Amino acid sequence: MAKNTLSFVCQNCGAAYNRWQGKCESCGEWNTLAEEDVSGNASVPLSVRAKRKGRLFNLESLTGESRDAPRIISGMSELDRVTGGGFVRGSVILLGGDPGIGKSTLLTQAASMLAKAKHRAVYISGEEAVAQVRLRAERLGLATAPVQLASETSVEDIIATLSEGTPPRLVIIDSIQTMWTDTVESAPGTVTQVRASAQALIRFAKKSGTALILVGHVTKDGQIAGPRVVEHMVDAVLSFEGEGSQQFRILRAVKNRFGPTDEIGVFEMTGLGLREVTNPSELFLSERDLGTPGTAVFAGVEGTRPVLVELQALVAPTSLGTPRRAVVGWDPSRLSMVLAVLEAHCGIKLSGHDVYLNVAGGLRIQEPAADLAAAAALVSSLANAPLPVDAVYFGEISLSGAVRPVAQTSARLKEATKLGFARAILPESSSADSSGTTLALHPSSSLVGVVSEIAARGKRRGPAPPPQNRDDG
C-alpha cells in the first residue's frame, strides 16, 4: 500500500508537521500551516529504487585547472560590484525586494546589456504578459536588444526550451513564486512547489553553466516570502531596497558565495529606468539643510566604498510618560545605547524628550562607526547648536563613553576632502593612519569632549527662538 505522504508545511519557514496546528513551532508564525503532498518523486517504487546501483564518478584534486573565465560581466558597474565582479557561470542568485521597487526594471536592463554584448539572455516572466514586458523595454529604450522573452510558468517547459540550442548565459525567472512543476502536487506559491521548482531550475543552471537569477517577493516584515528555504539553496541573495517615495534604490548582497556581502550598489529610479549612481555621497548630501541644528555628516564606508551621508536628529520635549524613540535607517538598539551613554557619562537627561533620528536619502547604515555622528546630531538638536557645515564625524562609542577607533580612516577622509569638507571629528587612535590629509583633524578620545564643545556653541548662540504664531485667521 502506498504510504500517505500528506503533511502540513509551514508556508513561512518550510517546517513540516504530520497534523495541523495553529502556530508553527519552528518560526512562531500563526496560521501558516497548509496541507501539502511532500512525496516528491514517489512515483518510483521503493523496491526499484533500492535495487539501483550508484553510478561511479571521478574524484578530482583541489589544484586542477578550471576552464574559461568564470564570470559574466553585466556592464552595469553598480550591479557587478554587488555580485563581486559579474555573474558566476552556473551560479544562482535570488533577488528579493518589495513589490514595485524596480526588480523587473533592473533585470530587464541587465538582460538587455548582456544581449547587446552578444550573449544569449533569456527573460521568463511568470507575472506579466509578453506585451507588458515589451512595453517596459520600450520605455527603457531597450526594445531592440535581442533578449529572448517568454511568459511561462511551467518549469518542465522552461527547462526543455532552454536546453535547445546554445546554453543561455543568463536566465531570469520573474518570479519564483509563480513557477510550478509537475513533480509535486501542491498549488503554485506553496513552499513545496517553490522549493521543487527552484531545485529543478538550479539543477539546470549548474549543469549548463548558465547564470540564473530568481526573483523573490518580500513580505511586509522584509522576509523573502515563502521561499526562505530557497535562500539556502542559492549562491547569492541580493536585496533591492529603497523608500517608495524616494527615487534612490540600494542593491545589497545579503549572502554571496562568490563575493563580499558588504558592498552596495546605488541606483536612481528615473522616468527612463534605473540610472547608476557612481558617486553616492554627492547624491545623499545633495539636499542638505545647511546650518540647522540636529544634522551631522557621517563619513561612512559601505564595502570598499566611502559614503558620506547626513544624519538628522530631533530632540523635543514631551509630556508623555514614556517618551518616543523613533529611528529610520539605523539600528534602534544602537540609538538606545548612544542615549544611555549620553545620559550616564555626559550628564544629558533625555527622559523628558522625544528622540527622532533619520538617515537622509533612504540609506540604511549598519556600521557602529555612525555612533559619534548620531551623538553629535542629537546633542546639536538638544542644545539648538548647529554643527559646523564643513565637518564630518565618525567613530564608535563604547559603553564607557570612550570614542573607539574604526577601520578605513584614510578612505573616509579622502572622500570628505573630495566633497569639500574642511574638518573631521574622529577617534584619537584613528588619526595615526590619516597621513597626507588636508583636513583639519579633531581627534577625540571621549564623548564628553565632543559634547561639551557642541554645548558651548549652543551657549554662544543663545536659546532657541520662540515658535512663530501660525494663527493666520
- Point out which residues bind Mg ion (CB under 5 A): 104
Residue 274 beta carbon to ligand TYD: minimum distance, rounded to whole angstroms: 8
Cβ distance 353 to 382 under 8 Å?
Answer: yes
Do 121 and 148 touch, CB atoms closer than 8 A?
Answer: yes
- CB 251 within 8 Å of CB 242: no
Q: Collect all residues with Cβ–Cβ distance below 8 Å to 221 and sequence separation of at least 6.
A: none
The smaller minimum CB distance to ligand TYD, of residues 136 and 206, is found at: 136
Which CB, 129 or 272, lies closer to ligand TYD? 272
Which is nearest to 424 in space by CA: 365, 472, 354, 376?
376
Return the number of the residue (123 or 330) whose C-beta is nearest ligand TYD.
Answer: 123
Output b/e per residue, 244-261; b: 16+ Cβ within 10 A: eeebbbbbbbeebebbeb
Window 253-292: residues binding ligand TYD (CB under 6 A): 269, 271-273
Q: Least distance from C-beta 14 to ligand TYD, angstroms? A: 24
For ligand TYD (CB under 6 A), the number of binding residues is 15
- Shortest distance in whole angstroms from residue 244 CB to ligand TYD: 8
In the bound state with Mg ion, the residue whose beta carbon lies nearer, of 9 and 147, is 147
Q: Which does 448 bind (CB under 5 to 8 A by kind): ligand TYD, Mg ion, none?
A: none
Binding mask 420-459 for ligand TYD (x = CB under 6 A): ----------------------------------------
Contacting range for ligand TYD; rule: CB under 6 A; set: 93-101, 178-186, 344-352, 375-383: 93-101
Residue 396 contacts by C-beta under 8 Å, 6 or more apart in sequence?
368, 369, 371, 372, 403, 404, 405, 406, 427
Q: Which string of DSSP letters, residue by residue, matches 216-237?
A: EEB-TTS-BSSTHHHHHHSSEE
Question: Does 140 engage in binding with ligand TYD (CB under 6 A)?
Answer: yes
Residues 6+ apart with CB under 8 A from 92: 201, 202, 205, 211, 212, 213, 214, 233, 234, 235, 236
How near is the Cβ of 202 to ligand TYD at its closest, in Å? Answer: 21
Q: Which of residues 200-229 bind ligand TYD (CB under 6 A)?
A: none
CB 371, CB 294: distance < 8 Å: no
Asked if 447 and 425 touch (Cβ cutoff 8 Å), the reply is no
Q: Of 273 and 293, which has the nearer Cβ to ligand TYD? A: 273
Measured from the CB atom, is 104 or 190 closer to Mg ion? 104
Binding partner at 414 among Mg ion, ligand TYD, none, C-beta below 5 to 8 Å by kind: none
The residues in 24-43 that bind ligand TYD, with binding defined as CB under 6 A, are none
Q: Which of the listed partners (Mg ion, ligand TYD, none) does 271 bind, with a CB threshold of 5 to 8 Å by partner kind?
A: ligand TYD
Nearer to Mg ion, 91 or 104 (CB): 104
User: Is the CB of 136 or the CB of 255 nearer to ligand TYD?
Assistant: 136
Among ligand TYD, Mg ion, none, the one that 96 touches (CB under a kind-dependent 5 to 8 A) is: none
- Least Å from the CB of residue 270 to Mg ion: 18
Only one residue has cell 556600521, namely 367
Cβ neighbours of residue 404 closer than 8 Å, sequence gap 6 or more: 395, 396, 397, 398, 427, 429
In this chain, which residue has its C-beta nearest to Mg ion?
104
Q: In this structure, how many other beta carbons lie within 10 angstroms of the beta carbon of residue 23? A: 13
Q: Least distance (Å) from ligand TYD to the CB of residue 117? A: 21
Residue 302's alpha-carbon distances to 246, 262, 269, in angstroms, are 20, 6, 21
Picked from ligand TYD, Mg ion, none, the partner binding residue 105 (CB below 5 to 8 A depending on kind) is ligand TYD
- Please check whether residue 236 is in contact with residue 94, taking contact to mean a CB–CB distance below 8 angstroms: yes
Residue 52 DSSP symbol: P
414 binds ligand TYD per the rule CB under 6 A: no
Burial track 306-344 (b if 16+ CB lie within 10 A, e otherwise)? bbbbbbbbbbeeeeeeebeeebebbeeebbebbbebbee
Q: How distant is the alpha carbon of residue 29 from its chain centre?
A: 24
What's the rounded Cα separation, in Å, for the pair 310 and 429? 24
Which lies closer to Mg ion via its Cβ, residue 104 or residue 256?
A: 104
Residue number with CB closer to Mg ion (108 or 223): 108
- x-or-dash pattern for ligand TYD, window 97-136, by CB under 6 A? x-xxxxxxx------------------------------x
Residue 272 interacts with which of Mg ion, ligand TYD, none, CB < 5 to 8 Å by class: ligand TYD
Question: CA-CA distance, 262 to 252, in Å (whole number)?
Answer: 7
| Contacting residues toward ligand TYD, per CB under 6 A | 97, 99-105, 136, 139-140, 269, 271-273
